[in-house]
Chain A
Amino acid sequence: MLRYFLNRILLLAPTLLVALVLTFGLSRLVPGDPVEQADEDNLEKSTQKETELLRMYRRKAARLGLDKPVFYFSIQPAAYPDTLYKIPFRNRREMLIALLRQNGNWPAVEQYFVEIGNFKTGLQKLPDTLRSEARSSLAQVINDLQFTADFSVAQAQLQTMGGLLQKDPVLQQGMGNAYMQLLESFQYLQAHPQKAKLYLPAFKWLGFDNQFQDVLSGYLRGDLGLSYNDGKPVNAKIGRALVWTVLLNVFALPIAYFLAIFFGVRMAVGKGGRFDRRMNNVLFGLYALPAFWVALVLLVVFSNPDWGMNFISITGMMDLDKNSSWGEWIRVGARQLIVPIICLIYPAMTILARQMRSSMILALNQDFVRTARAKGLSEKEVIWKHAFPNAAFPLIAFFGSLLPELVTGSILLESIFNVPGMGRLLIYGMGTQDWPIVFGIMILGSLLSIIGLLFADLAYAWLDPRVRFGAESNPIAQV
């Protein structure tokens, strides 16, 4: 048993690692600049001065560890520089890549970008007495130019700038030089493309001190990072939400299992009979009924004071705290949770009952059942002592697959009924682009689903020694 256990763990560990890498990769693909999103202070708003903005960004990036390379290595066109991640602001990085993708000459692109920056700072450094219309429109154009990846548009913008400078001799005196340099670098860039480099992949080793390493060691310590919204730990948020989701499932799952076993066994025993046929249709209908819609309909019917059936509510639970009495907790909680629990029970119940029925039918046809009957055991004993334990395998496997559901929560039900559980946290994180929460839940979900797989495997092996010894497994278990 121990050997089997270790074997399974060894197989599942790489799976977890790959899932971690995948999650991390996705978390770097989502829109938005993490340095800007983290915490409440908005860099762009706090200052307009270019140099100060860059300094602040670099400081914040260093504090968050986001000034490091993303991964251990990179595979990208040879034209791309290996220090791109050090350039502040994601939109500027993307701009540079867009220029580079068309041109391929990194030193020229970099020079052009530096000249744009120089022009911008130069314009900002001009004495305040020089407030003219030309200056403000020049500032506008240079800001646009900074995010123009289309060469023909950039050309037109540079011409506009030249025209503006010519109209204002004072500006021409202050900025003429910077403009000439900018124009020169642009023309050099256009004249010297190195497109061949774009087709050549280059492998670069970036070292162990990278973002993935940081995130991974955080996960290993059980630290899921900080929320972008308020800078509080994601762990605490998930912990608080998990309580509600677990609470829902603690009520829902045992009831679903109990009903499924009850109906499934009865249907299998009386296979083809009236109860079986009717129940089959009922289960099929329930299976097709989307739970979220049932939830909405129940909400319509039972929360309408006009119809005199004001039984359930979707508010109140958030206001409860430690001072509230037990009675109040139960009363308010029941009003809000009873319908989500029902809506959690019936889909699980329908799947489980159909599963139970088919595996029970298989079990009842086995030889050992006939032997048990021939021995003269009562029907009850035959069913529950001999057939049922063998038919219960699929239910165990299903429980393993339910574990990750516990983390995802029922996203829809929690959103409809305002239950502050995992599902609502996930959707809230998606809506506010709070990625550490979303990917934290993803990691936790992957972990739990791997534990679920392990649990199902071990339970199988424990209940059926044939699995342990690598022999052909229980025929019923493969339903």
Chain B
Amino acid sequence: MSKKQVTAGYWANVWQRFRSRSAGRLALRSLGVFVLIAFLAPFIANERPLYAKLEGHTYFPLLQGMLVDMGWRTWDAKLLPAEDWLDKSYDKVWYTFIPYSPASIDHRNLNARGPFERQRVESWRFRHWLGTDKTGRDVAAGMLHGTRMALWVGLVAIGVALFFGLSLGGLAGYFGDQGLVIHKSTLAIWALCLPLGLYYVVYLPGMSYEPSWISQVLAILAYLSAPLILAMLLSRVFKRILPKSGQITLPLDTLLMRLLEIVDAIPATILVLALIATMEQPDTTYMMVVVGVVSSASVARFVRAEFLRVRKQTYMEAGRALGFGHFRLIFRHALPNAVGPLLVLLSFSMAGAILTESSLSLLGIGAADRVTWGSILGGLRGQHEIEWWLAFFPGMAIFFTVLTFKYLGEGLSEALGEK
């Protein structure tokens, strides 16, 4: 312990209070377990053996497969074809704990074998502990990799929501209706340059045919930032040249509220579905970006309210009086004081995003090849006789994940001293 910690800081206090409740502690631990599973899933459930001896040679198919998937290596000729790993005749082999990948099909156990039913397997080592689904995929492997997907989609969704929500809500809340006073020429320049940037992003001129996604992203960033930089430079120049009298106040807050009213007017579920429909073959990440964009409205509203509250605090006034710039005031003073409540909101949004993803894949919308908790449940849709293991395990996983994030949020908000 260093001397600095004699007077515990704000966050240390929050942490203390958070840890003092068993619910929060439990939630944090179970989050740890989920993250651990998400990282280790390929090493727990994989059809590729950890270690295999084939005709006198030693191989590590799992590790090699990872390098191959990343495009850094090719398969050794002996291991080809790189499929049906369970049917190869090895001299010696070590499998992972569950010797199945989420997508590997066990042709001897098709049509949903239950965990307690007779399974046609060689030994207990190859038993499907949580049964198989209709196409003969191992449920346990699907569950483990589903954890990975669930956390990933949650992170993507809240990341996107945070980006848009924070920038829009932050600006509106920080400046309010009276705070942003700019020169008329600046407004005119921005009103020209911003649409121009968007126009170039839509049409992306100068791109080769079928560009790679990296060059697309780079081009989008370039086309977005170039007009912005141009606008900044131009507005500085014009501000110097033109007389100082042409100042106007931009009602940022009202503008944002109008925008949010429009987003609110369209039911979120339908908006998400319609946005997903515009994609020919939506993949899970894209779907979550859509969910993030739609839910950024609530983040923006929240951040706006927080910033409006923070704005009136005396330390902000002091900062303004000392002549700090907007940038410093926002990032050093306003934002850190809004982080706590924001974390609570994000924790709840994470739960919401995971629920949304699982309900979308339950409905069969999105990528069919990825196994997620929702897609395991989705096999049961509109069916009269339901295999209990296909409903029970993924459902429990969703329930516990959602509960974890909700308790995390609840614990945080209590620790922060809200309510």
Enumerate chain A interface residues (CB-CB to B < 8 A).
12, 15-16, 18-19, 22-23, 26-27, 29-31, 75-77, 98, 101-102, 149-151, 195, 198-199, 201, 284-285, 287-290, 292-293, 296-297, 299-300, 303-304, 313-315, 358, 404-405, 407-408, 411-412, 415-416, 418, 426-427, 430-431, 435, 438-439, 441-442, 445-446, 449-450, 453
Contacts and interface: CB of A to CB of B under 8 A. Distances in A.
Given A76-B203, A102-B209, A297 B391 contact: yes
B398 A442 contact: no
Contacts of A201: 196, 199
A76 B202 CA distance: 9
B267 A408 contact: yes
Contacts of B241: none
A257 to B, nearest CB: 21
A195 B262 contact: no
Given A101-B205, A442-B274, 14 more contacts: A15-B258, A16-B265, A27-B274, A30-B277, A31-B280, A75-B199, A102-B208, A288-B399, A290-B359, A290-B402, A293-B391, A300-B391, A304-B385, A442-B267
B266 A442 contact: yes
Contacts of B381: 415-416
Interface in B376-399: 377, 380-382, 384-386, 388, 391-392, 395, 398-399
A441 B392 contact: no
B368 interface: no
B363 interface: yes
Contacts of B270: 408, 426, 438, 441-442, 445
B355 A290 contact: yes
Interface in B267-302: 267, 269-271, 273-275, 277-280
B206 interface: yes
Contact of B399 (A75, A290, A315): A290
Given A76-B203, A288-B399, A297-B392, A19 B209 contact: no
Contacts of B133: none
Contact of B267 (A27, A98, A404, A435): A404
Contacts of A300: 386, 388, 391-392
Given A442-B270, A445-B267, A296 B391 contact: yes
A442 B392 contact: no
B365 interface: yes
Contacts of B200: 199
A18 B264 CA distance: 12
B278 A29 contact: yes
Contacts of B189: none
A15 B261 contact: yes
B210 interface: yes
A427 B384 contact: no
Contacts of A296: 377, 380, 386, 391, 395
A314 B363 contact: no
Those 6 A-B pairs whose CB atoms lie nearest each other, nearest first: A293-B395, A198-B205, A288-B403, A445-B267, A404-B267, A29-B278
A415 B363 contact: yes
Contacts of A30: 274, 277-278
Contacts of B359: 290, 292, 411-412
Nearest to B280: A31
B395 A297 contact: yes
Chain B at the A interface: SS class: helix
B358 interface: yes
Contacts of B395: 290, 293, 296-297
A145 to B, nearest CB: 15
A300 B390 CA distance: 10
Nearest to B204: A101
B364 interface: yes
Interface string B57-100: 00000000000000000000000000000000000000000000
Chain A at the B interface: SS class: helix
B406 interface: yes
B410 A453 contact: no
Interface in B196-223: 196, 199-200, 203-210
A200 to B, nearest CB: 9
Task: Among A198, A304, A411, A438, find the residue whose CB has the most chain B CB atoms closer than 10 A.
Answer: A411
B398 A293 contact: yes
6 contacts: A75-B199, A199-B200, A292-B362, A293-B399, A412-B359, A415-B381
Contacts of B275: 26
A315 B362 CA distance: 20
Nearest to B358: A290
Nearest to A97: B203
Contact of B264 (A315, A405, A435, A449): A449
Task: Among B265, B359, B406, find the residue whose CB has the most chain A CB atoms closer than 10 A.
Answer: B265
A449 B262 contact: no
Contacts of A18: 262
Contacts of B203: 76-77, 101, 198
A293 B402 CA distance: 12
Contact of A77 (B205, B262, B264, B391): B205
A441 B274 CA distance: 10
Nearest to B391: A296
Contact of B403 (A285, A297, A431, A446): A285
A49 to B, nearest CB: 29
A77 B203 CA distance: 8
A446 B382 contact: no
B394 to A, nearest CB: 8
Nearest to A306: B385
B274 A438 contact: yes
Contacts of B406: 284, 287-288
A254 B277 CA distance: 34
A430 B265 contact: no
B241 to A, nearest CB: 26
A23 B209 contact: no
B271 A15 contact: no
A27 B274 CA distance: 8
Contacts of B403: 285, 288
Contacts of B205: 77, 101, 195, 198-199
Contact of B265 (A19, A75, A76, A297): A19
B391 A26 contact: no
Contact of B269 (A15, A285, A287, A411): A411
Contacts of B267: 404-405, 407-408, 442, 445-446, 449
Contacts of B199: 75, 201
